[in-house]
């Protein structure tokens, strides 16, 4: 099964972003499930490496790494990155700059599309 997860919310302050990444991690670990996470809008901030959060607080950059280590993809909207001053060098390992064309392709190829 091919699952596309589209995340629009900011990295911190919204439980929906945290929960979407948690669900993506869980799905990516399942046999026969291919997960693609497409970060849009403020969601691209979740893929910034080196996040510093208080002790005991979740770290989305590390959580995204679990998805790629399980064979999933992390794609970031290039227009959204530009609007926020984020370069590809600032992204976590395994995440990459992407386009609306790629999102359209992944949407058409997906068996399920989840939007957060």
pLDDT tens per residue, range 22-60: 999 999 999 999 999 999 999 999 999 988 876 766 788
Number of helices (H), then strands (E), in the chain: 4, 5
d(CA 42, CA 61): 14
pLDDT tens per residue, range 76-96: 999 999 999 999 999 999 999
Instruction: List domains and CATH numbers for the chain.
Output: 2-49+59-115 (3.40.1260.10)
pLDDT value, residue 30: 95
């Amino acid at each position: 099964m091919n699952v596309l997860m589209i995340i629009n919310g900011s990295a911190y302050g919204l439980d929906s972003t945290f929960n979407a990444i948690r669900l993506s991690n869980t799905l990516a670990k399942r046999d026969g499930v291919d997960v693609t996470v497409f970060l849009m809008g403020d969601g691209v901030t979740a893929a910034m490496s080196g996040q510093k959060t208080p002790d005991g607080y979740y770290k989305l950059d590390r959580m995204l790494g679990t998805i790629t280590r399980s064979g999933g993809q992390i794609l970031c909207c290039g227009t959204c990155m530009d609007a926020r001053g984020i370069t590809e060098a600032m992204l976590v390992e395994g995440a990459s700059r992407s386009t609306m064309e790629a999102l359209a392709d992944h949407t058409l190829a997906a068996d399920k599309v989840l939007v957060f």
